[in-house]
Structure 1
Amino acid sequence: MRWFICLMILFSQRTMAQQLFLAAGQSNAVGMADSAMSVPCAPGTAFEYRWASDSLVYLADPVGERELHFESAHTGSAWPAFAKAYHSLTGKQVVIVPAARGGSSCHYKAELNNYGTWDRKGRLPLIDSAIIKARAAVKKTGQPIAGILWSQGERDANAINAKQLTAGEYEEQLMAVVKQFREALGRQVPFYIIQTGHYLNHPAAGFDAVREAQENAARKMKHVFIVYTGTTGFAGKGWMKDEIHYNQTALNHIGATVAEQVAQKEKR
């Protein structure tokens, strides 16, 4: 039976239209929830690209590998739910390219210890590593990156609260990140933003500033979209794992909702 499933997966890799999505950001993009409650994907419909082995593997939590300074889910993420919903809506096979690191900042002024930054400055810049991994996935599959799924901003929000960073600096750097990805992966590659939520028992001002900056970037730049807005309501729904991280119910909802939004925008 196992050989038959492997054969079907291999056949689907060769015959089904593929869509590659780079999943990037910080800890909520890594996934800090529960793989036991993660959504299973049907064989042959969803894969994860792994850079170290240059291979496609069945997409299942914990998604991600400790490679190129990126991390694996601890232990559940949003990406199986995204892939399952996207495949159901489009009939296309999904390849997730995980490129997220917990605590990473967007702006180098917000970088904390060795957690990394998506700025080109800083102690541990991450964007070149993400580009290396994305390009390797493109080469492996022969398909372009169909979109970047972005969940990031908590570190910068804390830095705004601490007066280490302004909302304007964050917004400018977020737009620079989009431009840098596009210079490397395609000038029109869509950038899909999951809006940052609130850090419970911390000032909301910095987090609201980040959310506003994300909305501004989507308004100012073509093919930059806010695809999930409801993260600030998670505490009231009991969808928080702790003060800052989303639980698996939340991540499953994010994944499915983002898939719906992406599929809708691809039709336009």
Structure 2
Amino acid sequence: MKKHPEYDLFLFIGQSNMAGRGVTGERWPQRAPELLPGAGYEYRAVSDPGHLHPIAEPFGAAENRSGGIDEPGRKTGSLVTAFVNAYYAATGTPVIGVSASVGGSGIAEWQGEEDFLSDAIRRWTDAERFLAEQKIPVRHRYMLWCQGETDGDRGTGPETYKAKFRAMFAQLQGWGVENCFLIPIGQYNGIHGYDYTAIHQAQLELAQEVPGVVLASDGFGAMRARGLMKDSYHYYQQAYNEVGTEAGKTAGNFVNTKQG
């Protein structure tokens, strides 16, 4: 690890489209980008808590904890590397990333009640402790959130979703998270006809209403029409690359303005 004056710590948190289900196909053969040299490192709180590793896809694949965030073999390629490359290009500050995403999780399971949020906070505090022990300086602390498909399937009401999101974000702010960069969900592409409109709109409203929440990319909404959905819920790697790049640029520009 090449030492930099400062790093930004990111919690990559949410459900399967944050965890990453990217694959290639004949029409969409693009793979995840290679990490720019020195752009970012993964802190593996579960599988290797004593080291940092250069970010690579599938990001977080080894980070499975029985009874918590646990989906061995399901992470195949995420938006994280594309996000980190764009963020680093914009800010010049490398990212230290913590994986805390699991597929099929509704907002009710991110409330800090011995649930997925509880595990995410444990990973976060382990990262903070490690970085302090290693005297690795952290400039900012952020989260990138992408979740909501399960709530669309379950028919979670938009006001319920917003209230539970606020409760979750408030807890993470209590652990030092400064801003939430938000990637809203896209469209459903399956035979059951779930309507994601209400949850998607609720997420856009959260970015307008909640201080500290920043809309990073709404790019998933266009992917079904472009043929970039690989199944009912998930995307080809190219879609993750595009959304990750846009979100990283947005986040980097936001941080640069905040610094100024």
2:122 counterpart of 1:132: yes
Residue-by-residue CA offset, 1:161-196 (whole Å, 9 max, x unaligned):
xxxx3221111111111111111224xx10111011
Contact map agreement 2:90 2:253 (CA 8 A) in 1: no
Alpha-carbon distance in 2 for matches of 1:101, 1:199: 18
Contact map agreement 1:47 1:58 (CA 8 A) in 2: yes
Corresponding residue for residue 42 of structure 1: 36
Contact map agreement 1:138 1:144 (CA 8 A) in 2: no
Residue-by-residue CA offset, 1:128-149 (whole Å, 9 max, x unaligned):
1111111111222242652110
Alpha-carbon distance in 2 for matches of 1:61, 1:215: 28
2:173 counterpart of 1:182: yes
Structure 1 runs not aligned, ≥5 long: 1-9, 108-116
Contact map agreement 2:63 2:99 (CA 8 A) in 1: no
Correspondent of 1:262 among 228, 235, 251: 251
Q: TM-score, normalised by structure 1?
A: 0.83
Corresponding residue for residue 247 of structure 1: 236
Q: Which has the higher contact order (CA 8 A, sep 6+)?
A: 2
Residue-by-residue CA offset, 1:61-88 (whole Å, 9 max, x unaligned):
1110233333466311100111111111
Residue-by-residue CA offset, 1:73-118 (whole Å, 9 max, x unaligned):
63111001111111111111111111000101102xxxxxxxxx21
Contact map agreement 2:82 2:241 (CA 8 A) in 1: yes
Corresponding residue for residue 27 of structure 2: none
Alpha-carbon distance in 2 for matches of 1:159, 1:265: 33
Alpha-carbon distance in 1 for matches of 2:175, 2:248: 24
**Cα RMSD, aligned residues only:** 1.9
Residue-by-residue CA offset, 1:38-73 (whole Å, 9 max, x unaligned):
111133321111013212111101110233333466
Question: 1:137–1:144: structure 2 CA closer, same or farther, 3 Å change rule?
Answer: farther
Amino acid at match of 1:67: N
Structure 1 residue 204: Cα displacement: 5.2
SS of the residue aligned with 1:262?
A: helix
Corresponding residue for residue 66 of structure 1: 63
Contact map agreement 2:182 2:213 (CA 8 A) in 1: yes
SS of the residue aligned with 1:20?
A: strand
Name whichever structure is richer in helix by fraction: 1
Corresponding residue for residue 86 of structure 1: 87
Corresponding residue for residue 45 of structure 2: 51
Alpha-carbon distance in 1 for matches of 2:7, 2:153: 38
2:166 counterpart of 1:170: no
SS of the residue aligned with 2:223?
A: helix
Alpha-carbon distance in 2 for matches of 1:45, 1:263: 13
Alpha-carbon distance in 2 for matches of 1:175, 1:19: 23
Identity, % of aligned positions? 28
Question: How do residues 97-108 of structure 1 correspond to structure 2 at under 5 angstroms?
Answer: 97-107=98-108
Aligned residues: 239
Alpha-carbon distance in 2 for matches of 1:236, 1:211: 17
